[in-house]
Each structure stands twice: as C-alpha cells, then as structure tokens.
Amino acid sequence: MSYTALARTWRPKKFSELVGQEHVRRALVNALESGRVHHAFLFTGTRGVGKTTIARILAKCLNCETGVRAEPCGECASCREIDAGRFPDLIEVDAASRTKVDDTRELLDNVQYAPARGRYKVYLIDEVHMLSAHSFNALLKTLEEPPPHVKFLLATTDPHKLPVTVLSRCLQFNLKRLPAADIAAHMRRILEQEGVGFDAAGLKLVAQAADGSMRDALSLLDQLIAFGGGQADEAQARAMLGTISRDHVVRIVELLAAADSAALVRCAQSLEEFVPDYAQVLDELAALLVRIGLRQVVSDYQGDELYAPELLERLARALTAEDVQLFYQTAIIGRRDLGLAPEPRTGFEMTLLRMIAFRPAGEASVTRTPAADPVARAAASAAGAGSAPGASGPAGAASPAEGASASDAGPWAAIVNALELSGAARQLASHCVFVGRQGAVVRLALDARNQPVRTPAQEEKLAQALSRYYGEPVRLEFQLGGAGAETPALLARRVSEQELAAARRTFEADPGVQGLRERFGATVLPDSVRPVK
C-alpha cells in the first residue's frame, strides 16, 4: 500500500496554486508575459516557504511545449517530466553534497551545450550558500557571461553567506514566512478534498506550530491525521504537540487578574501531570494576552478559532492595560530565559510569580498624572487640600488670592501646571513663591540660590503665560526671599518622596513578594522600586 505525503501531493504546480508570496509571483508572471526573463534568479527564505517549488514552476513556464508562458499547461511531456523530476534539461543540484570545486566544474562543463529536449537548460542549485569559495569562483564566470539557452535558479536559506559578486548578478526574491491564517485556510481546503474530519482550532494550532513553513505544516498535518486515527481535532493536536488545554491558560490569566499567588502556584504545579512543554505554555499565555490587549483597544475585535469574543471581553475587563503589557513582557522574557532555569517547571513558576510580584498594588483605582511632569503630580496632590478663594483662570482652576500666604504652594503649583510653559521658563516658575497679586502686578519671591534661572527672556515668557492664564495683561515684580517657603519644585520633590516611600511599603507588604522571600530567600533592592505613574 503506497501513500504520498500531503506536502508532495499538494505541492503547487502553477503560480495560481501558490499560497502567499504574491510579490514573487507577480514579478515572475510579469517577466514571463513581457519576455524579459533574467538569466539568474536567487530565491531566499526559511525552510518550507516555496523556494524550490517556485523554481520548478518557473522551469516549466520556460520549457512548456506550448511556449514560454506565465501558466504552464501541465499536460505536455515537458511539464509532466518536470513534475516527475526526470526532465533532462532541468539539472537539480544539492549544493550541500557537492561543495568541491571539481564538482562545480564538472557541472558547468556542459553549460555550453544546447538543451537536449527543452527550450532552456535550467540549473536549479539548492542551498547554494554551501558551495566553497573556489566553487563560487567557478560559477561566477558562467553567471557573468551565460549562454542564451541557460537559466540559473539558485535557492538558499542564508543569502548573507553568498559572495556579493554572485548576489550582484542575480535577481533576488526574498520569500516571506506564511501567516498562520493562510496556512490554516490551505489545510482546511486540503482536508475537505481529502475527506478528513477536522476542527478549526486544531488546524490553528498546527498552523502556529509550523512557524510560517507550509511544508512543516503539511508534515505536521500528516502526523496529526495518523495520531488522531484519521481525524484532525484540537484535543489530538494538543496531545501531539505537547500543549495543554487552553482552559488551563485561561485559568492562569484569571488568577493573575485576581493576584492570587497561592492559587497560581497550585495551578502551575497541576500542569506537571500533563508533562507540558513549558516554553509552549508561555507562548500560549503570551498569545492570549495579545488577544486581550487587542480587545481592550479595538472594540470590535472578534478573536479567532481559539478564543471566543465573550471570553476575551471578560478577561479584558478583569485586567488593566498596564497589567496586560506587564504580563506579556514578563512571559516572553521568561520564555527566553527558560533554558537558564534549574529546570523548566521552576522557571515557569518563577515567571508567573514575577508577574504578581512586579504588579503594582491597587493600580486600577489610582488616577495617574504624567510621569514626566513632577509639578503636575504635586499640583494634583495639593488639589485635595482645596484652593484659596480668589480669581480663576480661563480653565476654571483656582488661583491664589491677592495677598495669599507665601507658604501656600499648592494653588501656585496648580497655576504653574496650567501654564503653557516648558524648559527654563517653567523652571523659573517652579522655583518661585507666590507673594500676591494687586491688579496687573503679580509679585513673586525667588531666593538667592535660584537667581541664575531668572533672565529677562524667561521673565517675559512667564509674564505672557500668566497674562493668558488671567485673561488680562500682567507684569511681574520679583523680590529676594522665599528661602523658607515651599515652592512648586520643592512640593513636587516632597510628593515624589512620599510616593516612593508608599510604593516601597506596598511592595514590601505584597503577598507575592513575601512568598518569594519565604520560598526562595529573595532580597528586595529598595532602589529598584519605583511608583507607577
């Protein structure tokens, strides 16, 4: 009983049957239709994306008995013999096994002779980067001045290993990795025609495992059909690929959202009975977090075959956008470092604990102000204490009353935050103490240490900003003093120190951090703790 693998049975025989690689197909079709076919082509790309397949189709187009055309007939003797691998004028060479210069010279000795049967003599050299330097030198002369009846089709996964002298004499086409969606759709068409039962989730898993290679995908599909007894469903695909049920991944995300460290560790330990590939578990966790992040920012995102939109909506509401980004980054870094862990299981558990440990406590209820503007944060902090009665600017923010206390930095900090100032002018305003306002005159105090920030240009910018704020022209009067008062800059420093102290206390009290200390003897580095802005 003979059986032909799916990758061979369903290998494209025409450009119209190709999946993806539209940029290559279009260029070659246009060249064939216009009669401007170069003498040397280089096809590059990872394994299984169609390099030699495209080369063979091109060879058929050039030697089809109906004439040079963009779509070979597939019926003539030349087309059938090329498909069967026995056409005398298609010389296929595996450069990995013929690296010596003598092999290359022997091959090229016959270049000068006319084709035996076809219109062109086509040399298809696979893995051309494996040729030796002397072999490349022997090939180079022929590439420079090829006979009119010869075409070279070179294929490689490592184009950077080819000499630039060879690259410069070829038309180079870089074949892309195929999207998982295109691979899954192609497998669906194949299984429908083969009469094999399947489900969409199982095909999605195989397509993702193929990593952009159609040949790998069809090989895995063959393996899945055999493993599943003639079926290709999700449960069998997960068992074959060594991945756990997506329910476990969803449960991990739910426990991360609840910040339940103990339950998270128990869940991670329960996976041991499935003997999973922990790198793939982290891949699936990161992939789910990507979908959750998309759901948070794209309201009509519908998910895919693996995760329903209702599930993604529920998880998107349970997590903040900051959590999703933190968990995703931790997952991919943990996946990268998994090989450095004492064993994969403990590396996986530590990655999950790190997600909880680095998650700021109570972050969902905190309204943040921009981290780049400490004055803004100080103004927001001072706003809770109320504002002095007095005039309001156009935005409705309270301003210091005429004759307000010089020690009342909160309202002045709020005004500084509302002003359209940056750079040195903002520094000047932040180091001043508001003394009072009488009509069109605003009095500010500046101590001797901060006098260097006061220049006529910065004074003018500050006066113009205050005029816009009050809605009428004002002028500034400065006096020396205010050394004992709290300026907006000092207020911002005090608020920042309070936030840092609170962040360190919260971090120290976090159950996840305490669990890391008790279980692994972890030590907290105080300088590494920063408040979330």
Domain residue limits, the chain: 6-174, 180-241, 252-359, 374-492
Distance CA 502, CA 59 (A): 71
Which tokens is 390 given? 């007095």
Per the CB < 8 A criterion, the answer to whether 422 and 458 are in contact is no
Distance CA 398, CA 208 (A): 58
Distance CA 180, CA 177 (A): 9
**Per-residue model confidence (pLDDT) at position 247:** 85
Per the CB < 8 A criterion, the answer to whether 238 and 271 are in contact is no
Per the CB < 8 A criterion, the answer to whether 328 and 289 are in contact is yes
Architecture of domain 180-241: Orthogonal Bundle (1.10)
Report helix, strand or coil for 231: strand
Per the CB < 8 A criterion, the answer to whether 42 and 167 are in contact is yes
Distance of CA 108 to the CA centre of its chain: 45
The values of phi and psi at residue 472, to 5°, are -155, 155
DSSP class of 197: E
Topology at the third CATH level for domain 252-359: Zinc Finger, Delta Prime; domain 3 (1.20.272)
Type of residue found at 437: R
Indicate the burial class of 377 (C-beta count within 10 angstroms; 0-12, 13-18, 19 or more): buried
Topology at the third CATH level for domain 374-492: GMP Synthetase; Chain A, domain 3 (3.30.300)
396 torsion bin: left (phi>0), alpha (psi -120 to 50), beta (else): left
Distance CA 533, CA 530 (A): 9
Distance CA 210, CA 220 (A): 8
What CATH homologous superfamily does 6-174 map to?
Answer: P-loop containing nucleotide triphosphate hydrolases (3.40.50.300)
Type of residue found at 59: A
Per the CB < 8 A criterion, the answer to whether 176 and 54 are in contact is no
**What's the maximum distance between 2 C-alpha atoms anywhere in the chain?**
105
Indicate the burial class of 449 (C-beta count within 10 angstroms; 0-12, 13-18, 19 or more): exposed
Per the CB < 8 A criterion, the answer to whether 128 and 162 are in contact is yes
Distance of CA 522 to the CA centre of its chain: 31
Which run of H or of E encompasses 41? Answer: strand 40-44
pLDDT < 70 stretches in the chain: 1-2, 98-100, 360-410, 482-483, 532-533
Q: Please state, as a whole number, how many other Cβ atoms lie within 10 Å of the Cβ of residue 397.
A: 16
CA distances from 223 to 62, 63, 226, 330 (A): 36, 36, 5, 33
The values of phi and psi at residue 513, to 5°, are -65, -45
**Per-residue model confidence (pLDDT) at position 24:** 93
Tokens 């050039």: give the residue.
62
**Per-residue model confidence (pLDDT) at position 378:** 55
Q: Please state, as a whole number, how many other Cβ atoms lie within 10 Å of the Cβ of residue 229.
A: 7
Distance of CA 465 to the CA centre of its chain: 43
Indicate the burial class of 527 (C-beta count within 10 angstroms; 0-12, 13-18, 19 or more): exposed
The reported pTM is 0.57
Indicate the burial class of 110 (C-beta count within 10 angstroms; 0-12, 13-18, 19 or more): exposed
Distance CA 513, CA 523 (A): 9
Tokens 């004492």: give the residue.
342
